Amino acid sequence: MFRTFALVAVAALASPACVDLVSADIGRVIARDEKHFTVEGRPEVSVSTFDGSIEVRPWDRKDVEVVVEKRAATKESADTIEVDAKQNGNAISVDVRVPARHAFGFHMSRSAKLIVSLPAGSDLAAKSGDGSIDVERISGKIDLHSGDGSIKARSLEGDVTVTTGDGSVTADGRFASLRAHSGDGSLRISAAPGSSTAKDWDVSTGDGSVVFEIPNDLNAELDAHTGDGRIRLDGVSVSNVNGELRRNSVRGRLGAGGATLRIRTGDGSITLRSARPSGTGDTR
């Protein structure tokens, strides 16, 4: 296959930390825009893109980097994608969008991928209108949302919210609280030893199976139900059964009890199994 490739460095747009690189290939253009932010304390990072994937990884620097890869059929189309970057102390926001005046037209198939590097101890909110999200090894208050795409959240710690309109969810870590939801997709969750149910947990999908690995030290009131499927317990002990222990419903106590662990699927099986002693479980 014959290809044409060119790399052009364009002058910084907003500051010395902002660099725009344009890669031209047959049938597409990728414009790369880098944003850098220095922080002193715990970062509070919010990133969003109208359409595209988001990847988040920790590093050992006291700053935050957000790389925006604008993708379009032409450079003119890529130029209609706007990046709104702001910083107020340790609060950082990067919002990538297409203004309404440029929403329609020929050759307007566009997306913007975000690649985020930040300290491991950070609060994070990441949102994609249409794209996958992949986050790992972050500790803090974490909120991940995709309108249409899968979400992978690995080795997290803290208060975690993961939601997608349509796609699978894989999440593991030491949770202080957990909310995981898919409108249409499977859920694979593994709670590491030391996870807390001081707050209610809510895990649900409109259509798909749920696999949940539960550590032996988790204390909670279990409330699991599937509309069309069955529930399987694998090495998980439920005591003080309070009303229902049926093929498609289980209500009872895990450990010493506590807040509620609610698990729901409209159509699919639920598997509850004991987590492996090694920690942030393998959900295979």
Indicate the average pLDDT of the chain: 87
**184 token code pair:** 């249409």
Rounded to an integer, the average pLDDT of 244-262 is 87
Q: In this predicted model, what pLDDT tens digit does every residue of 190-227 receive, in sequence order?
A: 999 999 988 999 999 999 999 999 999 999 999 999 99
Query: What's residue 105's pLDDT?
Result: 54
Query: What's residue 107's pLDDT?
Result: 45
Q: In this predicted model, what pLDDT tens digit does every residue of 84-140 receive, in sequence order?
A: 999 999 999 999 999 866 555 544 589 999 999 999 999 999 999 999 999 999 999
Which of 120, 151, 117, 110 lies closest to 134, judged by CA? 151
- What's the pLDDT band for 4 if we cut at 50, 70, 90? very low
Rounded to an integer, the average pLDDT of 217-246 is 85
| 15 pLDDT more than 50 | no
Which residues 6+ apart lie within 8 Å of 158 measured at CB?
139, 140, 141, 142, 175, 176
Query: What's residue 7's pLDDT?
Result: 36
Question: What does pTM read for this prediction?
Answer: 0.86
| 65 pLDDT more than 90 | yes
- What's the pLDDT band for 60 if we cut at 50, 70, 90? very high
Q: In this predicted model, what pLDDT tens digit does every residue of 38-53 receive, in sequence order?
A: 999 999 999 999 999 9
- What whole-number distance in Å separates Cα of residue 177 and Cα of residue 13? 41
| 61 pLDDT more than 80 | yes
| 70 pLDDT more than 90 | yes
**50 token code pair:** 């109208």
- What whole-number distance in Å separates Cα of residue 201 and Cα of residue 179? 6
Which of 142, 205, 131 lies closest to 172, judged by CA? 142
Query: What's residue 212's pLDDT?
Result: 97
Query: What's residue 45's pLDDT?
Result: 98
| 149 pLDDT more than 90 | yes
Rounded to an integer, the average pLDDT of 177-192 is 97
- What's the pLDDT band for 242 if we cut at 50, 70, 90? low
For the chain, percent of residues with pLDDT exceeding 70: 82
